[in-house]
Structure 1
Amino acid sequence: MFTKDAYNGESVVIDHYDADHDALRIEWRWPDIEDKPWTQRMNFPLHYRMIYHPLCIKYLRKHLVKERNRVLKKVKPRVRLLQKTLPDSGGPKVTCLATGFYPRHINLTLLREGQSVSDHQITGGELLPNGDETYQMRKSLEVSAEELQHHHYTCTAEHLSLDNKLEISLGISE
């Protein structure tokens, strides 16, 4: 807990309660009395222990109950593996997209023949907010038409809301 009293635009008394050591530290800063502030250490006074500490705990618990559903919610990602033709090069692009998930951490992997595609070949991968308290992530890979015909591409997603790893093959979505 931390409190400040001010006078004439300046902090004059600063109280800091250290819960780990059950001690109160008070800094008195009265500029008219002394040029330099001094610090006095004392045991935690009874009124702090009996009034402020229980009130803080009460309001923290109340706030946690109020925000519990938002903090603990889990929303499954919608994962798709898409193929499109790039307008400038005419070559195909394979994109793994996960959207609408919460919490924010997700492990999204683009695979070629069951092997992870190296990060230097992939574009994207940034986590972005959706505006509805969910997130999205996209990873893309530019390939040649020949590569697309001869290789099998899949996308995997691991997320707290999923019981198992989700695996999507090109042309199939969940």
Structure 2
Amino acid sequence: MTYGIVFVILLFIYCPTSSFAEIQIGQMILGCEIDQEDQNGDFFIHFGFNGVALVDANLDKLTCTVLLKEAEYMEDDCITSLKRNSHSVVMLREVCTLWLKEFLRYGNKTLERKAQPKISVFEKINQTTSEIKVVCHVTGFFPRDIEVIWVRNELDDLPSEGGDILPNNDKTYQVRKTIIVNRMDLGRHSYSCHVDHTSLTKKLTVAWKYKETGPVMEITVAIAAVILIAIVISSGVLIRRKKRGASARDTEIARNTEELRQMNSEM
């Protein structure tokens, strides 16, 4: 992994007597970078004007590369200036490299932290259309860079929606990639989400398996609801009938008791 430190210098130029009396901006980006594995690095300067890159200068090799044809005249002046000021170039390179190594030494705990991604695959179904949105949600990973790809039949990379990497509260990241699948293709193709990250020893692959939650499930739920309602109603009817039967028996018993009492009094 390569780390770098960059300084940006802007020079604002205003020429009121020129034919274009407005502010012009000269740009210089100076910096160094180090490969953490082999400790090799580069020291560079990029020159630009009004947002257009003109010349790249490699301060290790003391060479200049012209990036715009109109700036070809600057190449010889750039090389001559580098060689004339080689001692200053060496000093700047050493200072920049020293600072960068110190930053890396103090920040290694954060820079080298790795957290493996967690993957979930699910679908969003719209019953009014023949299309199904299938989402691959990857979260909990660090560092930020990650590759998430949808693959059909383990061969074809599919275009996807989304892809913005967002921060989590625990200083990890998350990302979503969504594809559109036609219902007609459900039995003809397989779909899987492939994830590659520096925290992994090998790529992770999670296949999407369609779960039927359409009309069949809705009909099943409706039938179950009707059966439940019927049971409740039937239970209520039986309870009322039992109450009515008990009340009739109580009335009959009371009438018979009264008749017996009257017969005994007459005797």
Shorter-chain TM-score bucket reads: 0.5 to 0.7
Pairs within 5 Å for 1:88-167 = 89=129, 91-119=131-159, 122-167=160-205
Pairs within 5 Å for 1:1-174 = 64-86=104-126, 89=129, 91-119=131-159, 122-171=160-209
Deviation at 1:65, TM superposition (A): 4.3
Moved over 6 A (4+): 59-62
Q: Kindly name which structure, 1 or 2, has the bigger radius of gyration based on alpha carbons.
A: 2
Distance 1:87 1:71, change over 3 A: farther
- 3-state SS of paired residue (1:126): coil
Gaps of 5+ in 2: 1-58, 60-86, 210-267
Deviates more, 1:91-100 or 1:72-81: 91-100
Structure 2 CA distance for aligned equivalents of residues 169 and 152 of structure 1 = 8
Structure 2 CA distance for aligned equivalents of residues 143 and 123 of structure 1 = 12
Q: Relative contact order: is structure 1 or structure 2 higher (C-alpha 8 Å, sep ≥ 6)?
A: 1
Higher helix share: 2
Deviates more, 1:108-117 or 1:61-70: 61-70
- 3-state SS of paired residue (1:149): coil
- Contact 1:158-1:166 at 8 Å conserved across structures: yes
Structure 1 CA distance for aligned equivalents of residues 126 and 109 of structure 2 = 42
Structure 1 CA distance for aligned equivalents of residues 141 and 115 of structure 2 = 5
Write the deviation string for residues 48-97 of structure 1: whole angstroms up to 9, x where unpaired: x9xxx99xx6x977754443211110110011222221376463211112
Structure 2 CA distance for aligned equivalents of residues 62 and 139 of structure 1 = 38
Number of equivalent positions: 124
Give the residue type in structure 1 aligned to 2:139: T
Structure 1 CA distance for aligned equivalents of residues 168 and 128 of structure 2 = 28
Give the residue type in structure 2 aligned to 1:106: I
Structure 2 CA distance for aligned equivalents of residues 89 and 129 of structure 1 = 33
Structure 2 CA distance for aligned equivalents of residues 139 and 87 of structure 1 = 22
Structure 2 CA distance for aligned equivalents of residues 66 and 146 of structure 1 = 56
Gaps of 5+ in 1: 1-19, 21-43
- 3-state SS of paired residue (2:187): helix
Identity %: 31
- Contact 2:130-2:183 at 8 Å conserved across structures: no
Structure 1 CA distance for aligned equivalents of residues 128 and 165 of structure 2 = 26
Deviates more, 1:87-96 or 1:64-73: 87-96
Higher strand share: 1
Pairwise CA RMSD? 3.3
- 3-state SS of paired residue (1:143): strand
Write the deviation string for residues 113-170 of structure 1: whole angstroms up to 9, x where unpaired: 1123343xx2112222223221112111111222123211111111000001111111
- Contact 1:79-1:168 at 8 Å conserved across structures: yes
Q: TM-score, normalised by structure 2?
A: 0.39
Distance 1:169 1:118, change over 3 A: closer
